[in-house]
Chain A
Amino acid sequence: MSMSKKRVKLRAEELQQLKWLVGSCLSLLALWALSSLEMQSSSVVLVAAGVVLLSIVSPRIVSRIPSKLWRPIGFVVLLIVIVDFALHLPEFMPPLLRMVILLLLFKTLAPRKRRDDLQITVLCLFCLVISGVLTVSLLFALQILIFTPVAMGMLFMICLLDRGSESRVRSVDWERFQYARLLGKVLRVVDYRVLFLGAVMFGFVVFISTLLFILTPRIDLDQAIPYLQIKTQTRAGFSENVKLGAVTDIQSDNSVALRIDVPSYEAIDGTPYWRILALDKYDQGYFRLSNDLRDRPYRSYLKIRELMGRELLSDSTPRERKSSYKWTLYLEGNTSQFLPLPGMFYSMRFEGLQDLVLMPGQHHVGLRSVQQRVFSYQIEDLDWTHRFPAMQIEVDAFSAVPMQFESEDVKYPMTNLELNLVSEERAYLADLNEQIVGGQAVDDVGAYSKLVTDYLWKNYSYSVSPNLSGNAEDAIVRWMQNAKSGHCEYFAAAYILLAREAGYPARMVVGFAGGSWNVVEEYFVVRNDDAHAWVEIYDAKSREWLRVDPTPGNGSSDPDIITSNVPSFESGVNAWIDSLRIQWYRRVVNFDQSDQIDMAISAKTWWDRFSERFSEKVKSIGASLQKWWQQPFSSEGIVRFVVLFCSALMVWGFWRSRYTLLGCLYRILRRPKALDPIRLQARRYLRKMRTKQVDGEIVDELMAMRFGPPVKRTKAKEVFERARKALRKSQS
């Protein structure tokens, strides 16, 4: 039975089927990679993935398409690609990706020769690399890890088929195809040694690529090659034109928007406010940046690698460096053009040269375009603050006598006072101001702010979905008159309207408030549902913009009292998965080559120390040998030498006579099932021969050794020697 054990083999046709399916899986992987590039053709990706999935689930359907049809389909695909390029030509990337998708789909579905299989493999790699470069997401690592073994298997199968006669088995018969049968057979066929070798090879590839990954200098491919950049849009709530409710829309998304590597947990402010954009102009339910702010002199454009904090504070005295703590912020792609900044800082660094937009008065740093991939920046010596110095031009403008400005063309600083309301509404606001302030003497902004905030908290409660009714033209006034509850934007807007009516310049600020602490890797996480809107009001006394958060539940009503809340903690599986991402970012994102250099230096010092120690050791051994040789023999030395020699002899002797000794041991123990060592060894060889399908006299001899009458040890050794040779021969 065991002699005649049949070896299951895959037929060429089954191998073809397997290859076809693995190829389809590769193209599915490629489509997955492309789908993580958020672009307009995501529906194309989805449809293509659906078709490929269908073809994998039931290959029969695709095989029924007559093969003559594929040539005209190829022409049609070519035509579509040309037209697509012609229509979108200045844009290069989206049509290119669409072309890749179409090509993948065509190659996957059409009958494939060896050439096509190789093309699919290369295309898949191309897609993975492109999406990896553009998104820098953790998925890239996962996809590459999946791709490597699958592609290795694919190439292995192509090699196998190449040795066989592929040309003869042209069309694969899918009609009687069954997954269970094929996979079962594959399971039976797969040899654990092949799997082991494959795993070793895979490990080797991963090891080498990790090494390369650590050692190669980082270049931003998309920075280097401009046409690889894909333009996307900022979130509506963080744009330069925010409609009432847009910030609250962001809150419905629970995904992470910002991760911050913090010097320590204590360094985070009690209630961190991540300021993104301050909007000065109010117009009928819209807060926007006034036109003046969209250009010089309020904006400047730079292309730099490191930005000093004083460049945002051109009007006031330069800020001294207080500490050298570094904060690294990772802003997820497609979030905002302007970077969340919690306060003033000493310097800010980027990966490579960046095209920046600076708005010094608003204390904003933005990018020229919204990034699709994660964007990282490092801030040195961050100063949490709720007061930002105002520009000289603002101070001058606001210190002038308040004036009525209902003209069409209001210039910048004055937009912070502009109301754009009809007179009844203004009257309503004025009445309300009167009512709030009453007869009290309000000597500064803080006191006024506290009164207004208290009023708002007393009369309105927080709700994400306020019900609006009434007939006032302006949305905010309507809300103030009729509603009982609203979200942060209503509170902030109502505050601004009241403040402006009372003559205080005020502006709306959007960004994030709060966040949570990831316990696993110790970093701060800000999610999109932390999106928030608050107010900055001008404090004429200190010539600063003062942060006020009129939304209930976010601290004290007095703007100068900063309460500290304990942020929520993230732990558990999700936090762990998220922490993988930050580890990935920490490794991928590199502000300079310093840690690579550090690594190289530490490796070099390690090697130097090791070689130094090694040579020392060798030298000391040599010296002691020489000493030993030169000194006269002592009795102790001779005894030691004899003991050493005897033990070496014993080891050697044991090795020479191991069969005899083990045989003796066997006879002493005599367990019922134990075989004596020669039989055991013969059995081992026989098993090897059986798996290697070695035949011939040597097998008979081993059989005699195994089942025959006991033989002499010397004879056995000789046979085993020959068996070893035969095995080696069969391997080569």
Chain B
Amino acid sequence: MNRVRAVKMILWMITGFAAAVGITRFIYGLGATTNLSDSTPWGLWIGFDIFSGVALAAGGFVITAIVYIMKREEFRPIVKPAVLTAFLGYVAVIISLLFDLGLPWNIWHMLVFWNPHSPLFEVGWCVMLYTTVLLLEFSPVPLENYSRYAKIRNFLMRFRFPLVLLGIMLSTLHQSSLGSLILIMPYKSFPLWYSGILPIQFFISAVALGLMMVTLESLFSGFLYKRHAETVLLSKLANAAVWVLTLYFIVKMTDIAVSGKLPLIFNGSWESFLFITEIFVSILIPIGIFSVARFRMSIRGLWFGSICVVVGMVLNRINVSGLSMLRGGGDSYFPSWMEISISAGVVSAAILVFLFAIEKFHVWEKPPRYPESEPSSRPQFDIPSQVWLGNPLESGRTRYSLAFLMSFALAFALIPGVDIHSKGAEIVTAEPARGGDSLFIDGNRDLYGVSFNHQKHISENGQKESCVICHHMNRPMEKESPCYRCHKLMYQPADAFEHEWHYNSKGGNIRCYQCHTPGLEKTALSAKKCDQCHNGLFPTGSRIIAKQYMAPSYVDAMHGLCVNCHRQKALTDDSKKDLARCGKCHESVPPDYMKPDAPGMNKRPYFNRVLMPGEEKVLKVVD
């Protein structure tokens, strides 16, 4: 097996693995597949796929600028691969974004509902436009193979220069606006990475990274197809990278020094360790290597230096977009294996498309030998008939699709079966309402609830007969069961029937056939109804008949009951128009007997409210 085939095989496997995980992500959602949370909503996909992906695709605009604007014609052979890398990089960014967005089908909203004040709006539009421009820039290459599209190709070629200009402009805009995105969180990001000139830093580092990404891509594809590396050309890029990296280093360190953050670098914290690693890997080591002409001209030196810059800059983007914020927020986040595999899968798929384009189209001046034309075993004669069987070529698609299939099935097997559901809301049990004639309904005990005048509801709705309006069902051995007895959970439906209790010998100890009709499948349909055994389960004349064994969540039940009734009243009675508004029932201040300092109260902070800066300290006194 030759190099290309082996690498393609591995890439197809990773893609297949990610495909199974990707399907799971879209069926079960982010909560089930990622380690992201409300406090850490940006994870690997944003840090690596989006922030680093955009930066890694910077090679496209850097090389086109060198060739078309600075008129350095000797770099023309690497324009096409650089543009292709940039295009695929951007497509990969967009696909990863679809994985990361909670509602990916709303991605078009940005086109219609404009919010021009948002940096994300600029980033989104730039990515979209630049991807289009890159597509138009690159499409003459595949169109070359089809003579019937010659007109389109000529048309595109005529607009090549304006397209290139537009591309450089757009990517300049949004390489930097990814930096502006961070400007809105000055207190969340760690001071070493936060800076007022973050957009400028992002742009300069993107130029350096673009140069090195083109180098790495050229070395990698040269290695795969056993092609002579353009060492002279690449060493010129490396030389340019030294200057850009030096500028980046000066700008970054000056900014840190001027704003008095220098001591933070050496205070020995986790962030200082990250920062020092990043500076060494992304700037100092590559500058050291590429400043020496002997290393710059050697393949090994180029490999090592370009990998350093790429890894270091990816680390930088991950740091800026989230890693440096983790400690400050007091959270711990490590990407789940599903997140990692999707990131790897998107990258692998992009590389596969890149290799496909290199093999099929005129990306390189001299196209590589088609790897599938190499026989996988020795040519032979058919033994009995001595007929020449031809070269034993195995179709690539047979092999690669098998690799895809096997790793897809493996990933499918690894996905936890029954347990795969979103962690969702924390389970909060509903607590009874407190008080007498006037109740305070506060199921989750956060001191924000509803003052409910029980006595008034009784007297206004017609004394004793009106109980059944709300008390629609009683637990066995109970009269007028309170709501929380069945609606046990605050935000999730709860099992009101408890099948296990019924058949368990420690509970009801009832045999299957006593409820389920023998001979039929044992389902709810073939079972006795509750009131066939329990007397008084439904009070006579109750308005709501429980039809299911699951009781809706406490919140849903309360809202359903109160709001529906109030809404009808508000419609019929003009003087009670406000009856169905939230504020009518939800009062911000709990009654005196519910105050946190009242004797016997469990003292909890007001965790339902948005905290203002400085307020945490006041609240901590409460417990």
> Are A and B genuine complex partners?
no
Residues in B lying within 8 Å of A, measured CB to CB: none
Residues in A lying within 8 Å of B, measured CB to CB: none
